[in-house]
Amino acid sequence: MGSTPTCPTNKKKNMYSVSRQKNKKSGSVIAISREEEGAYLSPFAAFNHAKHMRRLWLEEGEVKVRILIDNQAMTVGQAEKWSNEEYKDLPKCGTCGQILSGQVYNHRLCSDRLFCSERCSDRSFHEKMDQLNDEEDIEYL
């Protein structure tokens, strides 16, 4: 309908990776890193996997395991707070709120917002058209 696909260069399918590491400065850590082709789309999914990996490593006998994000060792609580803040900063669909990744869309009536699919873009387009038609009807009264 009114959708135009666009591919911003900073939108990738999965953006976070989680790995178990020994770090000289912080000791045993579960590292969460931002990557173009990571295994997780959301910071919540990456955090939850890191928390699970940490628990398993502690069960294996490791004494202290921290979570490492942006070269900063964090407690589980600090990492959870990071995931919430990180989520707030991610680009989201202007209709459904899904995290944007891969191909994104927009339309001629709303060039300042991006959408996750043609369906969401078309829905926004129709809502804008209905709003413009309603405003036009009010002017004639």
Domain that holds residue 75: 16-89
What is the structure's pLDDT at 65? 94
Same domain, 98 and 85: no
pLDDT band for position 10 (cuts 50, 70, 90): very low
Contacts of 91 (CB under 8 A, 6+ apart): 11, 99, 100, 114
Mean pLDDT of 72-79: 94
Higher pLDDT, 46 or 7: 46
- Do 74 and 52 share a domain, yes or no? yes
Do 20 and 85 have their domain in common? yes
What is the model's pLDDT at position 114? Answer: 85
Name the nearest CA neighbour of 68 among 30, 20, 17: 30
Domain co-membership, 64 together with 109 = no
Asked whether residue 22 falls in the same domain as residue 80, the answer is yes
pLDDT tens by residue, 18-73: 999 997 888 899 999 998 788 898 999 999 999 999 999 999 999 999 999 998 99
Average pLDDT taken over every residue of the chain: 83
Confidence (pLDDT) at 99: 83
Both 26 and 84 in one domain: the answer is: yes
Q: Do 26 and 68 form a contact (C-beta atoms < 8 A)?
A: yes
Last residue of a domain, one of 89, 105, 130: 89
The mean per-residue pLDDT over the stretch 3-16 comes to 50
Q: Is residue 76 domain-shared with residue 104, that is, in the same domain?
A: no
Pair 61, 102 in one domain: no
Domains contained in the chain, number: 2
Residues 48, 101, single domain; the answer is no
Tell me, yes or no, whether 78 and 21 share the same domain. yes
Residues 24 and 80 in one domain: yes
**Taking a C-beta distance cutoff of 8 angstroms, is the pair 14, 39 a contact?**
yes
Q: What whole-number percentage of the chain has pLDDT above 90?
A: 40
For residue 7, the model assigns a pLDDT of 38
- 73 and 133 housed in the same domain: no
Domain end (from 50, 68, 89): 89
